[in-house]
Each structure stands twice: as C-alpha cells, then as structure tokens.
A and B are shown apart, each in its own frame.
Chain A
Amino acid sequence: MKMQIVAGNPGITNINRRFIIFVFAFLLFSPGVHKEVWGDEKNDIKKQMQELRQQMDSMQKKLQELEEKNKKLEEEAQKQKEEKEVEKALTETAPPPPPGGGLRGLIQSLNPDISVIGTFAAAYFSTDDPILHAEIDPENTGINLQELEVGFQAVIDPYFRADTFFALRRDIFEIEEAYFTSLLTLPLDLQIRGGLMRSKFGRINLQHREFQDFVTLALPAAAFLGEHLNPIGAEFNFLLPLPWFSELSASVNSSNGLETPTFQPSPDANNLGLLLYIAHLSNFFELSDDLSLNLGGSFATGSNGTSSTNRSNLYGADLFLKYNPLKYSSSYQQVWLQSEFMYRQAETPPEPEGNFSDWGAYTQVVYRFAKRWNTGARFDFVNTNNNSFVPAPGGEGLFPARKELNYTAMLTFNPSEFSRIRLQYEFDDPSFRSSYSAVFLQFEYSIGAHGAHPF
C-alpha cells in the first residue's frame, strides 16, 4: 500500500499537479489572498482616483468661480471701454509716424537750400549812349543778363544760421552776401548778424533784385549806395521794448574792398574812426488788419577815400505802406507804396571846390489788380549843389549826383510764383545832357528752395 501509495503518488501528482497549481494560483490571486500577498494596491489607486476626482471637481468649481469673476471683470472693463472707446480709439489713432520713414527720409539731407534766380532783360534805348546808373541795369539796346543770383541758405547749428548769395554775370563774380545770423535769445532782444551783407540802410538796400518792383534801380539808390551797400561788418539789432515793432540796428563795418559812390577805404587804414558805421531804426505800425506802415531812419558815416581824414555822411528816411484787404483776398487786390529819401554830405579836399552835398528820393506805387498781375509807377530824382568830380587816391573818386529826373511805368505778369515777365517804360531827364526813353522786357525765373523774403 505504502508502495502503492508511494508508487501511486506520482500518478496522482501527475494528474492533479495542474489542479493544485490552479488552486494555488486561484488562492494566490483570489481577492482575499491577493490582498494579503500583494497588498491593497487597487484600493489605493481607487482612492487616489477618487481624490483626484474630488480635486478635479473642486478645481472645476474654482475655475467656474474664476470664470464668473472674470466675466464680471470683463463686463466691467467692457463698460469702461465702451465709455472710453471713442475717446481712446481716436486719441490713439494718430501715433507720430516714425521719423525718417519712407520718402520723407529720402528728402532729408543736410545740404543747404540752393536756389538760382536768373534775370534777363531785353532793352531798347532811344539814344546810342544811355547812362548806366547801376551796373546791374541793362546796359545797351539788346538782350542783357542782369544777374544770376545763386543762394545757399541753411541753419548752421542751434545758435546760428547762414545765408550766402553770389551775384554772377557773364564775366563778373561777386559775393553779394555771406553772413550769419544769431538765433539765440540774447539780452535786450539782441540779434547779431555778421559777415558780408547788405547793410540795414533804408529799405531798397535790403531788397534783392528779384524782390524789387522795377527793372532798373532807383536813382538815389544807384547814386549813393551803388548797386547796394554791402560792406563786411558786425551788426547788432535790438528790439526796443515798445508796444509796436521797433528795431534799432547798429553796425561797424570795414569799407575795405568797397567801391560805392559814397564810402571808400581810407588811405590811412589804421583809423577806427574812419570805419564805416551804420545805424538804422525801423518802426512798424499795424494800422489795421489790412493796412500796414513801416517808417525808418538811417545814418551812415565813414571814410570816403579822398584823403586820410575825409568822411561822408549819408542820411536816409524810408516809408512803406501796404494795403492788403484780407476779407476781399479772393480779388487778390493789393496796393503798396515805397518811398525813400537820401541826403549825402561829403568832405572833400578844398581843391577844386571843397565839400559838397547832394540828395535824392524815389516814390513808387504798385497796384496788384489780379492774382498774377501788377502795375506800377515810379518817380525818382537826384540833385546836388556842386557839379565837379572829386578824385580819390585809393579808390574811384566821388561823383556828386548831378540833377536828374526819371519817370517809370511798369506792368508785370507772374505766370507763377517762380517766374515773372515785366514790361517797363522809362523816361530819363538829366540836366547835363539830352533826355531819352527806354523800354525793357524782363524775364526772371527762380529755381530751387529760396528763403522767404522779409516784409
């Protein structure tokens, strides 16, 4: 039996091994046994899952709460936005465009403004030998280049600006002006100009050719100032503390190289008292919105070159009146009147005739009757108490302005602001020779950026 049992054992084992393994496996993996053998893993996961779910739920709740809050906030913001919408949107529609963007950047350059103004005049004189009062006037029957003005204008730095003008003719190069102007706020409302410049003497001396209203220069300007009085000097311009515009200008100039009929360098160069001193007072009155009046007085004194002590004194008075009815500006009608008086005293050597004095004046009226048209008339004269020429050792000598009268009428058409056609008739009546007539047809053009002219 034992044997059987023993012998039979393997048989039983063989049959039941799978069963036993199954039971074991069952026991091992059955929930209870599993629990004890492997621990409560599933439950843990479930718990964790539940915890997670709870957390999720609370998170969701929180989220909802937040969303609600957010919505409320948004609604409030919306309300505020709506209130400010137009205001804000509109105020922020216009941020300043970036500097130097696009074509604007291309236009930017630090070159000065460059301009060229050409003035040509066809002339017909009724005499073979007309008097040339100023070099810039047409000389002879025929076509003349009066002047080619080349301008360079720019601001130098925050403190100064510079203006340079060259006057060219076929074979003449002249520096007409090259000066700086101070831009700073200075005590006593001072403004300083320095360099080679048209002096503040009267009105016409400051007017460039293209700004003048007639083809030829008025007689007193030609006789006393020459083309223009443009010495090298320093000029101090004060605004006087008065209720109207009143500017006092004083300048000290060197007459070296100056070839005007009145002032020439002294043979004795080392004399401060014989430098050229010029003073000018300009008063502007706005009589009404439409009517303006400018009254000025000028004085200049300096060496006249006839000896190392002789000087000339030049006195001037100027008047400018302009009527520009603004409310009727669609008619473009304007009238302006410009007048100047000049008186000169010259000390000259006692031989042949000693000191002389002479004087002259001009008055011109221009009527602009349409946008592009104006017409005007001028009367000018000079006279003297002495008729003899006085030679100067260093310069050209002094010519007293002998009696001469001039009557002028002109008609101007400006096709645009940059071109001009001007017809002028002139009758010249000198005391020392026969009178004659002249007709001019002037053409003037301006290219480039030319600075605006003063009033």
Chain B
Amino acid sequence: MKLYKIFQLMALSICLALLVMTSLFVSAEDALAKVRIFGSIPGFAAIAQEIGGDKVEVTSLSKGYQDPHFVDAKPSLILVLNKADLLLYAGLELEIGWLPPLITGARNSKILPGNIGNFNCSTLISNILEVPITKVDRSMGDIHPGGNPHYWLDPRNGIAVARWVAERLKKIEPENASYYDEHLADFTKLLSAKIKEWDEKLAPYKGTQIVTYHKSWVYFSDWAGFDEVGYVEPKPGIPPSPSYVADLIRKLQEDNVRLILEESFFPQKAPALIVGKTGASLLVLPSEVGARDGINTYSDLFDAIVGEITSKLANHGKG
C-alpha cells in the first residue's frame, strides 16, 4: 500500500470517528437537559445551585481558596463554557485578566455580553463602594475603575444576586418558573433569618477598628459596622515594603486595632510581623464558598466568618 493511501484512510477514519462522536454527544445533551450554569467564583455558583435545585448543573470556574483576580485561563474552561447556558460573574473588572479570552474562545453566543446567558452580577448591586470620583491611574495600584468588586462579602447582596438569578432562570426556562420562585423564597427566608442572627452576633462589636490585607473586606465591614483603619498592602495589588510595614506598626500601636483580616491566598509574613508588634490578632478567613472543607453554601461562608470574628473578638485581650 502506498503512503498516500494510508494517509487517505487515516483521514477518512478520523472524519468518521468525529461524526460518530458528535452525534453521540448531541444525544447525550438532549437527555441531560439541565440548565448549565457557571459562576466565575464559587459564591455565585453556590447561590445558583440553591435557586436552581435539581433543574440545574452548576460549576465554578475558580476555586474557593484561589485569588479571583488571578485565575489561569485554562483551555479546559473554554470547553465547559462552550456548553454553558448561563455565566455569572462579578464584573467590575475582577475577572478582567482571565475571563474575556475564555468567553471569546467559547464559541457560545448565549454567554456573550448583552445576551441572556451573560450575567454581570455587579449590575444589580445598588451600593457599589469605592467608585472613583476622580480620574484614576495605575499609580494608585491595581484599582478598579467601576468600584470595589468584592461585594459578595455583604450577605445582603447575596439576596440580590439570588433574586436576579431566579429571574434569569425563569426567562431561560419559563416552564419551571414556580419551582425557581419557591427556591428563591426558601433561600431568601433562610438567609434573611441568618442575617438577623449574624447582625445580633456582630452588634456588640460595631465600630471595631480592623486592618485587612487587601481592600477586599470593605463590603463586609460596611455591613458589620467595622472601621477599616489600614491595609497591609500600601496600594491594591502592591506588596508591602519593610518601611511601610514599620509605619503601619507605629500607626497601629497608637490606634486600638484589634483584628487583622486576610484571605488564605495572601502571604502571612507581614501580617504576622505586625501582630507580633501590636495588640492585634490575625485572622485568616475564608472569603469564598469552598475556601475550606465544610463551607458548601453561601450561608456556611458567613457562619464561618462571623463565628470566627466574634469568637476572636470575645476572647480578645483575655490572652
């Protein structure tokens, strides 16, 4: 057999195999028929799961223990977004470094901006914090021109997201509208009750002065009534220099700062140094669903955060 005939045969068989596999996948898709939802961060995915119940299939593009600013735009994510019905993302340029090429590569017009499957959750948050009122430039660090994107750390915003996720799902699948409404009602009832409970727990500590590593807790502080007096990063995204840390230590010795909060994906060297020289305690907190084992839902996340903060503050000063 001549060489080119072998090539011909190979090409033909590859084409046939592709056809067969395509048809197999198409039929498999029909059988599944669940709404495929992807959250850029696990918090949105978790909310969508509670609203969608067993009518949806939810996946998060990033891990809970990962810095949502820096996610590898792996081609495997293109493959999953290719099949997506709904993509939830934080917006405000949180995912600017990795999500746009995935959306472009996905070849899925459903999830393009402006279409029903593209859901920028920041568009429904009424109180975006830190929206710059003057012209910004990058000498201010890695700032977000649209405002601070870490709004899911205020549980009240979780309810807003849930409500609009339900709206979208009802548009995508009108036949299951009542199902989504019920789940939304359940979720809202539970979370509202939880918020009351957390509010009560946090009430004695209103006005507590805290320092955070990144400017990622402003929404949480806004809700909990904490007073953020400093940040370990001199500017967002810029790691601290020794002289800055020394200044911060001096400042904290004067103020009555009791807590330093940070996420596990930030370095703990500088915060540990600050804690050693001042009376503050360091808390490494989960900022996302899935950041630790056992944090599987949106309210699990705040149970953990509020629980750890209040117990730390209650024991503060007692040695």
- State yes or no: do A and B come from one complex: yes
Interface presence of A418 (CB below 8 A)? yes
Contact call A416/B142, Cβ cutoff below 8 A: yes
Output the nearest chain B residue to A153 by Cβ-Cβ distance.
B100
Question: Chain A: interface secondary structure?
Answer: mixed
State which of A46-54, A136-144, A327-335 sits at the interface with chain B. Answer: A327-335
* Chain A interfacial residues counted at CB < 8 A: 58
**Given contacts A87-B189, A91-B188, A452-B96, are A189 and B101 in contact (CB under 8 A)?**
no
**Complex Cα–Cα for A240 and B14 (A):** 11
Partner of A183, one of B67, B109, B268: B109
Q: Chain B residues near A420 (CB, 8 Å)?
A: none
Interface presence of A18 (CB below 8 A)? no
State which of A31-39, A99-107, A169-177, A397-405 sits at the interface with chain B. Answer: A99-107
Residue pairs across A and B with Cβ atoms less than 8 A apart, 18 shown, are: A90-B192, A94-B156, A96-B124, A96-B126, A96-B164, A103-B133, A107-B146, A181-B104, A239-B78, A244-B76, A244-B79, A282-B75, A289-B63, A330-B266, A372-B239, A416-B237, A416-B238, A455-B75
Contact call A331/B125, Cβ cutoff below 8 A: no
Interface presence of A435 (CB below 8 A)? no
Apart from the given pairs A97-B126, A97-B128, A455-B73, 7 other A-B contacts in the complex at a CB distance below 8 Å: A86-B193, A94-B157, A183-B109, A185-B107, A190-B107, A330-B264, A416-B237
Interface presence of B185 (CB below 8 A)? yes
Interface presence of B72 (CB below 8 A)? yes
Interface string of B176-216 (1 = CB under 8 A from A): 00000000010011001101100000000000000000000
Partner of A185, one of B110, B113, B146, B157: B110
**Given contacts A91-B163, A104-B146, A452-B97, are A191 and B18 in contact (CB under 8 A)?**
no
Contact call A454/B101, Cβ cutoff below 8 A: yes
Interface presence of A453 (CB below 8 A)? yes
Q: Chain B residues near A158 (CB, 8 Å)?
A: 109, 112, 114-115
Interface presence of B131 (CB below 8 A)? yes
**Complex Cα–Cα for A173 and B105 (A):** 29
Q: B: which residues have CB within 8 A of A?
A: 18, 21-22, 24-25, 63, 65-67, 70, 72-76, 78-79, 82, 96-101, 104-105, 107-110, 112-115, 123-126, 128, 131-133, 138, 141-142, 145-146, 156-157, 159-160, 163-164, 185, 188-189, 192-193, 195-196, 237-239, 264-268
Contact call B145/A284, Cβ cutoff below 8 A: no
**Complex Cα–Cα for A107 and B132 (A):** 11
**Complex Cα–Cα for A331 and B267 (A):** 6
